[in-house]
Amino acid sequence: MPLDEPVLTTAPDSRVARLNVQMRHHAARDVISAAIDAVENLALVSSFGAESVALLHLASRVKKDLPVLFIDTQMLFPETLAYQREVAINLGLSKIKIIRAPDIATQDPDGTLHQRDPDACCALRKTAPLDSALQGFDGWITGRKRFQSGTREQLPHFEAEVRKDTAAARIKVNPLAFWSPMDVADYIIENNLPRHPLVARGYPSIGCAPCTTKVMPGEDPRAGRWRNQPKDECGIHFAEGRIIRSGALT
């Protein structure tokens, strides 16, 4: 939906404040439309994980040729790679860019970095390649939600993302910020969307294969991510230059 007035000429923080006021009580699809109108060069970043299809479907209904960035860490489950292709075809997404780190062979030749230093592995395979891919964009859409962690209890629809290594800012858009777990589940069912095949096999949160385990009944949905390690985030989200260590990408 068009905004009442142009916002591209204002500073990022002013844009974010205005967008949050205007879109506070609007639906996720309206938030995506407003973001497309407000941000000249916008991408959606998706892991094609357990809940990703809801946001991807919403975006496809607004703009099928919206750029979608998918990070292939080269340690993903084969099911995730197959699901990514299935969803892209199913939703008619025409601008999916698959991102891979260019230097894995030299930085992690035997594929064991995740065992020795999982943070370094995520930085190599996820954070650095995504950061490089986002250099050409003024903003990006994520699937983050308030219910995912305590640090996201006040998550707004729009944020100004200032990276610690640059003075430039990007607008981060969280269309599903106010959704509940039931909202996500209902949306997927009501729109007859394909589920990630690993969800039915006990994986409610899905990352790289070596660092993801099944979740037992009663456990937190993200208990299977980096199990028994003091880590619960890959490091691609920043606030005031610091990595946000909880919650999922999409």
Q: Which residues are catalytic?
A: 234
Strands, E assignment, the chain: 42-45, 68-71, 96-99, 139-141, 158-162, 169-173, 238-239, 242-243
* Torsion sign (Cα): 188, 24, 130, 239: negative
**Which DSSP symbol is given to 25?**
T
Contact, 108 vs 74, CB < 8 A?
Answer: no
Structure token digits, residue 36: 């497309």
Gap between the Cα atoms of 61 and 43, Å rounded? 15
Task: Report how far apart, in Å, the C-alpha atoms of 46 and of each of 54, 68, 115, 117 are.
Answer: 11, 7, 25, 24
Alpha carbons 232 and 246: distance in angstroms, whole number: 5
Whole-angstrom Cα distance, residue 146 to residue 178?
6
